[in-house]
Structure 1
Amino acid sequence: MDKTIVFITGANTGLGLETVRSLLRSSTPYTILLGGRSRDKAHAAVQLLQAEFPNTATVVTPVQVDIEDDDSIENAFNYVADQYGRVDVLINNAGMSFEIVFNVGVIHHREISCSHEYILGSQFDPQMYSGELAMRDMWNKSWNVNTTGTHILTHTFVPLLVKSADPRLLFITSGTSTLTESDNLAIRLNQSPAKGWPKTAPSISAYRSSKTGMNMLMREWRRILSEDGVKTWCVSPGFLATGLGGNAERNRQLGAIDPAIGANFVRDVVEGARDQDVGKAIRWDGVQPW
C-alpha cells in the first residue's frame, strides 16, 4: 500500500498497454490497476505482462470498467475503494474514434479502440468500413465516450484521488484537438477536399471536436481540484505506430513513432517531469496550443 497506485483506463491494448509496460520498466515500483472494458481482455493483458516482467516489484491487477456504463464505473469504484482506499494517479486513457467517409448520403464507420493519436493525412478505402451508424448517433457516441464518459469516471473516482499525498490526473488528448493549429495546411487533415458533393475524403470531425471538449474538461477539473493539490494535464502522445486507423505498418511508413515513445512520455508525467506545465495540454517537446 506504500506503492503509488495508478489506475489507467483502456489499458489492455494500444497506448494504455504500452504505458503499463513503461511503468513496469521504471525503477519505481507501482500498484497498477489495468482497466479494460472486457474483464477477459484485462485479465489476458495482465497475464501477458506478468510473463514479460516476471521479476518486477510492480503489481498489476485487472479492473473491468466500461466508461459508457455507469454501473460498470460504480462497480470499479467500489472495488478500488474496498481493496486500496485511494488512487494516486488516474490516467483517463480510454476513448473511441469513428473514422467516417461520406458516400452517397450514408456514413460508413469502423469503430476503433482509441488510445493514441489519429493518423494525419491517411487515405482509407471505404470497403474497410463495416456496419452503419447514423450521423447523430456517431456524434453522440463520440462525445459520450471521449468527453462525457471520461468526466463521469473522473467524478466518480475523485474521492479516492483526493486521499493521495500527491494526486495526479491525466487526460490523454490528441494533436487533432488544437484549435490554434487547425489552420495548419501542412497537415492534410486540415486541407479542404475538392469542390462538389458527396465528399470522399476522410473526416474525424466528431473525434477531434470531442477531444477539444475534453481539453476544456481537463481545465474545469484543474479549477475544481486546484485547492486539493491535484496536478492535472492533458497529454498529447503523438502519432503512434499502432493499429489505430487500420494498419500499424502503414502508419509507421507515414511517419508514426514507436508507441513506447508515447508511453514513456506518459510515464514521465506520472513521475514528475512535467510538473511545471500543470493545467496545460502537453507534448513531449513542449506545450500544445489550445
Structure 2
Amino acid sequence: MNLFDFKDRVTVITGASSGLGADAARAFAEHGADVVIMARRKEKLDTLAEEINAKGKGKAFAVQCDVSNEESVKNAVDSVKERYGKIDILLNNAGIATGGTIETLSDEEWDKAINVNLKGIIYMSKYVVPIMKEKNYGRIINIASINALFADKPMALWRHPYNMTKAGVIGLTRGMAASYTQFGITTNAICPGLFESEMTANTLFKTEEFMKMYNGLCPASRPGSRGELNAPILFFASEGAGYVSGQYLLVDGGFSIV
C-alpha cells in the first residue's frame, strides 16, 4: 500500500494563501489529492490554484473564507460539499501570532487571537465533522505550536494570547479525538517550532541578533525550512495513521528538549 496516495481524497486547508498552508496544499496535490484551499485573500488563492492545476496531478479549488466568521465558514464548507459530496481531510492551519502580555493587550487583541486560532478550528470542525460522519471516515489535523507547551525562552517575545490559544488547540484536539474516533475520524495536532513563513518574516527573522540567539538555543542550529512540515502533515492524513488519534507531534529541530 502506498500510504501517501491521496488520489480521490478531498482535502480542505485553511490559511492556504501563503506559507506553510500553501506548501501543504502543494504537497497534497503532488500526492493526488483534490485540494480545497481557503483563506481571506482570494487573489493569492487563485494564483496558487493555477499553479497546482498546471502541474496536472491533484486539482485545486479556491474558496474565500474567514475562519473567524461562522457564516463565512458555513458557506465555504457548503460549497465544498456541493462540489465534491464529501470531505476526507481537514487541515486547520489558519492562525495568527499575537504578541504581548496580559498587562498590555486590549480586549480586541485577545478576541482576535481567540477568534482565529481557536474559534476558526471550532467553526471549521463544526461543519466538516458531520460530512465526515456520513462517510465514517475523516482525518483532521490541527496546527498548534511548541508555544502551546513551552513559554518563549528568554528572547523578549512574550506572546500570552498565542501561548493560550495554541494550548487550547491541543486540548480541543484531544477532546475531538475522544468524541469522533469511533466514527472513523482521527484528530491530531502538529506543534511547529520556528519556521520561515510570511507570518514570521517581518518579525522574528528581521534581526541578525535574534537569529543568532535562536540558532544557539536550537539543537538543529536553524529554523525550519519550507516543506519540512509536509511529511508530518501527510502522515497524520494517511491511511497508515488510522489508529493514531488525539496525539500531538513537535516539529521543532529539538528546540523543546533543551
Same fold, judged at TM 0.5 (above): yes
Residue in structure 2 matched with residue 166 of structure 1 by the alignment: 137
* Structure 1 residue corresponding to 2:47, chosen from 41, 44, 61: 44
Residue in structure 2 matched with residue 142 of structure 1 by the alignment: 113
Q: Distance in 1 between matches of 2:34 and 2:206?
A: 33
Query: Any conservation in 1 of the 2:9–2:33 contact (CA below 8 Å)?
Result: yes
**For each residue in 1:105-158, what CA deviation from the matched residue of structure 2 results, as whole angstroms up to 9, or x when unmatched?**
8x5xxxxxxxxxxxxxxxxxxxxxxxxxx5221112111111122112211111
Q: Which runs of 5+ in 2 are unaligned?
A: 1-6, 216-221
Question: Structure 1 residue 4: deviation in Å?
Answer: 0.6
Q: Distance in 2 between matches of 1:256 and 1:59?
A: 31
Residue in structure 1 matched with residue 224 of structure 2 by the alignment: 257
Residue in structure 1 matched with residue 173 of structure 2 by the alignment: 218
Residue in structure 2 matched with residue 22 of structure 1 by the alignment: 27
Q: Which amino acid aligns with 1:84?
A: Y
Q: Distance in 2 between matches of 1:206 and 1:269?
A: 27
Residue in structure 2 matched with residue 10 of structure 1 by the alignment: 15
Q: Distance in 1 between matches of 2:17 and 2:34?
A: 16
Question: Structure 1 residue 284: deviation in Å?
Answer: 4.9
Question: Structure 1 residue 66: deviation in Å?
Answer: 0.7
Query: Any conservation in 2 of the 1:172–1:235 contact (CA below 8 Å)?
Result: yes
Q: Distance in 1 between matches of 2:53 and 2:238?
A: 22
Residue in structure 2 matched with residue 282 of structure 1 by the alignment: 249
Q: 3-state DSSP class of the match of 2:12? A: strand
Query: Any conservation in 2 of the 1:15–1:259 contact (CA below 8 Å)?
Result: yes
Question: Structure 1 residue 257: deviation in Å?
Answer: 1.8
Question: Structure 1 residue 42: deviation in Å?
Answer: 1.5
Q: Which has the larger radius of gyration?
A: 1
Question: Structure 1 residue 100: deviation in Å?
Answer: 3.5
Question: Structure 1 residue 70: deviation in Å?
Answer: 1.6
Quickly say closer, same or farther: Cα 1:77–1:244, change in 2 above 3 A: closer
Quickly say closer, same or farther: Cα 1:155–1:101, change in 2 above 3 A: closer
Q: Which amino acid aligns with 1:145?
A: V
Structure with greater helix share of residues: 2
Q: Distance in 2 between matches of 1:50 and 1:144?
A: 32
Q: TM-score, normalised by structure 2?
A: 0.81
Quickly say closer, same or farther: Cα 1:165–1:156, change in 2 above 3 A: closer
Q: Which runs of 5+ in 1 are unaligned?
A: 108-133, 183-188, 194-200
**For each residue in 1:189-212, what CA deviation from the matched residue of structure 2 results, as whole angstroms up to 9, or x when unmatched?**
234x8xxxxxxx331111111010
Q: Superposition RMSD on alpha carbons, in Å?
A: 2.9
Q: Does 2:196 correspond to 1:241?
A: yes
**For each residue in 1:43-102, what CA deviation from the matched residue of structure 2 results, as whole angstroms up to 9, or x when unmatched?**
122123334xx232x111101111111221111122112111110001111111113389
Q: Distance in 2 between matches of 1:21 and 1:81?
A: 21
After TM superposition, list the pairs within 5 Å mapping 1:59-208 onto structure 2. 59-100=59-100, 135-178=106-149, 181-182=150-151, 189-191=152-154, 201-208=156-163
Q: Distance in 2 between matches of 1:165 and 1:228?
A: 5
Aligned residue pair count: 238
Query: Any conservation in 2 of the 1:19–1:264 contact (CA below 8 Å)?
Result: no
Question: Structure 1 residue 39: deviation in Å?
Answer: 2.3
Query: Any conservation in 1 of the 2:101–2:160 contact (CA below 8 Å)?
Result: no
Q: 3-state DSSP class of the match of 1:96? A: coil
Residue in structure 1 matched with residue 218 of structure 2 by the alignment: none
